[in-house]
A and B are shown apart, each in its own frame.
Chain A
Amino acid sequence: MVILSVFDVVLASGLVVVAGLVSLGLGLRLEGRLGRAALHTVVQLLLIGHVLRWIFSAEHVVLIFGMMLVMVVAAARSAVQRPSRTFRGVFGHALFTLLLTGFVATMTVTHLIIGVEPWYQPRYLIPLLGMILGNSLTGLSLCLDHLLEAFDRDRARIEMELAHGASRWEAAKAPMREAVRKGLMPTINTMTVVGIVSLPGLMTGQILAGADPVVAVMYQIVVMFMIAATSALGSMLICVLGFRALFDRCHRLRAERVWLRV
């Protein structure tokens, strides 16, 4: 693999300048934000690079799981900030969902499929969890957004169903099913075009690092299936948790618990 020097990275920053020139030319006034975003990219990635180097060399279980926990908390925070509506306790729901699905999926792949030894090897655990979280949080936030919008917008229709003897589950089933569908769509779309329109990061990274493309593809297939499973389970779980928070034991929709994010 060709090792990049600091000079190479500085050279690449010229590409961001091109984006800045487009903004200037079209009067988008995005130059400042673009500059700050580029700075964020450099600082965050350099920081994580050094942290990962430290964790990889230490190979200490507490450090590895501490890092994974930080990643899950950040993903949960991001997942609940994207939907236009929210409710009390939503962060806890997202955290629980991502912890459960993220850790179970990562452990399944590293332990059962790849057979990593020792089982907590950070070189596998952390990137795999990162990929799961990155994809799951998109699905999760889309799912939440749709669910909360449906509960809020269709509250009268849901109340009509409850008034005619529907259980809370019967009244909520259709919007919940649609929300899970929305949550799964990005993953399905990605799976449909992967390898044709896009070469995913994991595969590209492995190929750049000198791995056999077929080996890289095998890893990518495993990862795609892992992401599909976590997106489906995660969307379903967040919907069930949201449903339990927004319908009470008297089979009433408590739409007043949902509010628009300002």
Chain B
Amino acid sequence: MARLSVRNLEVVLPTNRAAFSAQSFELGVGEILGLLGPSGCGKSTLLRAVAGLIPSTGDVRLDGRTADEIGWPRFRRHVLYVHQRPLFLPGTVEDGLLRVLSYRSAREVSSASTMETGTATGMATETEAGDVRLTRARGSVPWPDTRPRAIELLAQVGLDASILSRPADSLSVGEGQRAALVRAFLIAPPVLLLDEPTSALDVGHRDRVEALLNDHVRHGGAAVLVTHDAAQAERLCASVRSVV
């Protein structure tokens, strides 16, 4: 069974125009699907629709179950959309990380992951020992235990641990983009929906992010990647779709 299945997904804009032509695709475990297309063709809207952040018609399933069956917050915890423009809550970067680990859905995922194996919530069962920390970090483990993993991820994308104490609004776009990705990888969702995640990064930092993404899919994750960079799609993606 596909991890993520999308059938006839459509979004109608307020102007009564379709945001993109109806989309159907499947995403397996360990796969990255690339979405290419010109600016304004609806790639970001498609990702937001898959995450259920905007009204749409069609069918989106995670491991054969709809968001209604899973519960919307928990579904989004598993099919996590990362905005192209890094967004943070007021406060420090650390406050922002703590916040996303404190949601009720994080606690549900944490307890469910110990009970449900073989489903999206049981990603930890498919990962190596090192990644079990990720699952445990989803709310049940206090921040002091999760912090080392956050610092490790920050280092992997070329950010120093001191960034944790900086106000989120003081970050540059590039720093913010990487910090937002760290926040997503800390949650370690089964499916990542990445909206041009390296658009503000130089080649060196882009390579680090790509390595992290490869690591994520190697350990049982999957991702849909919106990119303008055909070479990047070729490097990372098992398959590529054009959105029109």
Q: Report the minimal beta-carbon distance from A111 to chain B, rounded to whole angstroms.
A: 41
Known: A167-B103, A167-B104, A251-B73. A162 touches B53 (CB 8 A): yes
Q: Is B76 a contact of A163 with CB atoms below 8 Å? A: yes
Selected contact of A163 from candidates B53, B88, B99, CB within 8 Å:
B53
Tell me the complex Cα distance, A162–B51, Å.
10
Verify A156–B76 contact, CB threshold 8 A.
Answer: no
**Contact (Cβ within 8 A) B187 A163:** no
| Binary CB contact string for chain A from 189 to 200 against chain B (1 if under 8 A, 0 otherwise) | 000000000000
Most buried by A among B67, B76, B183: B76
Given the complex, which residues of A lie within 8 Å of B105, measured CB to CB? Answer: 165-167
Indicate if B54 sits at the interface (CB-CB under 8 A).
Answer: yes
A139 and B127 alpha carbons, distance in the complex (Å): 53
Q: Are A252 and B53 in contact (CB under 8 A)?
A: yes
For B48, B54, B106, which residue has the most chain A Cβ atoms within 10 angstroms?
B54
Shortest Cβ distance from residue A64 to the other chain B in the assembled complex, whole angstroms: 47
* Separation of A252 and B103 alpha carbons in the complex (Å): 16
B55 close to A (CB within 8 Å): yes
A33 at the interface (CB under 8 A from B): no
Q: How far is the CA of A252 from the CA of B72 in the complex (A)?
A: 9
- Nearest chain B residue, comparing its CB with the CB of A166: B103
CA distance A78 to B51 in the complex (A): 40
Give, as a whole number of angstroms, the nearest-CB distance from A92 to chain B.
23
Instruction: Give the distance to chain B from A179, nearest Cβ to Cβ, in Å.
Output: 16
Tell yes or no: A212 within 8 A of B by CB.
Answer: no
How many whole Å from B244's CB to the nearest CB in chain A? Answer: 24
Q: How far is the CA of A164 from the CA of B81 in the complex (A)?
A: 7
**Contact across chains for B73 and A166 when beta carbons are under 8 A apart:** yes
Q: Contact string, A165-195, partner B, CB cutoff 8 A, digits 1/0?
A: 1110010000000000000000000000000
Interface size class of B (residues with CB under 8 A): 20 to 34
- Asked whether any CB of chain B lies closer than 8 Å to the CB of A18, the reply is no
**What is the CA–CA distance of A77 and B99 in the complex, to the nearest angstrom?**
38
Contact A159 B76 (CB under 8 A): no
Task: State the Cβ distance, A25 to closest chain B Cβ, in Å.
Answer: 47
CA distance in complex: A251, B77 (Å) = 13
C-alpha spacing A159/B53, complex, angstroms: 7
Q: Which of B59-114 contact A (CB under 8 A)?
A: 67-68, 72-74, 76-77, 80-83, 85, 87-89, 99-100, 103-106, 109
Are the C-beta atoms of A164 and B104 separated by less than 8 Å? Answer: no
A170 vs B89: C-alpha distance when bound (angstroms): 13
Q: Count A-side interface residues using an 8 Å CB cutoff.
A: 17
Chain A CB count within 10 A is highest, among B100, B109, B183, for B100
Please name all residues of chain B whose beta carbon is closer than 8 Å to the beta carbon of A161 when the two chains form the complex.
Answer: 89, 99-100
Partner of A170, one of B81, B83, B104, B109: B104
Using Cβ atoms and an 8 Å threshold, which residues of chain B touch A165?
A: 73-74, 76-77, 80, 100, 103, 105-106, 109, 187
What's the Cα separation between A256 and B13 when bound, in Å?
11
Q: Does A29 contact B (CB under 8 A)?
A: no
**CB atoms of B80 and A252 under 8 A apart:** no
Point out the residue from B55, B67, B83, B104 that lies within 8 Å of A160, measured CB to CB: B83
Within 8 A of A (CB), among B22-70: 48, 51-55, 67-68
Contact A163 B80, beta carbon cutoff 8 Å: yes
Residues of A within 8 A of B88 (CB): 157, 160
**Minimum Cβ distance to chain A for residue B193 (Å):** 8
Q: Tell me whether B83 and A163 are in contact (CB under 8 A).
A: yes
Q: Does B14 contact A (CB under 8 A)?
A: yes
| A163:B103 contact, CB within 8 angstroms | no
Give A31-45 as 1s and 0s: 1 = Cβ < 8 Å from B's Cβ atoms: 000000000000000
Residue of B nearest to A158 (CB): B87
Q: Please name all residues of chain B whose beta carbon is closer than 8 Å to the beta carbon of A157 when the two chains form the complex.
A: 87-89
B183 to chain A: which residues have CB within 8 Å? 164
* A181 shortest CB reach to chain B, Å: 15
Nearest 9 A/B pairs, CB to CB: A165-B77, A165-B105, A160-B87, A251-B72, A163-B81, A164-B100, A167-B73, A166-B103, A165-B73
**Could you list 8 A-B pairs, sorted by A, with CB under 8 Å?**
A157-B87, A163-B51, A163-B53, A164-B100, A165-B80, A165-B105, A250-B72, A251-B72
Given contacts A160-B87, A163-B82, A164-B77, 10 further A-B contacts (CB under 8 A): A156-B83, A157-B88, A160-B83, A163-B53, A164-B100, A166-B105, A167-B104, A250-B55, A250-B67, A256-B14
Chain B residues within 8 Å of A, Cβ to Cβ: 14, 48, 51-55, 67-68, 72-74, 76-77, 80-83, 85, 87-89, 99-100, 103-106, 109, 183-184, 187
Chain A residues in the interface with B (C-beta under 8 A)? 156-157, 159-167, 170, 248, 250-252, 256
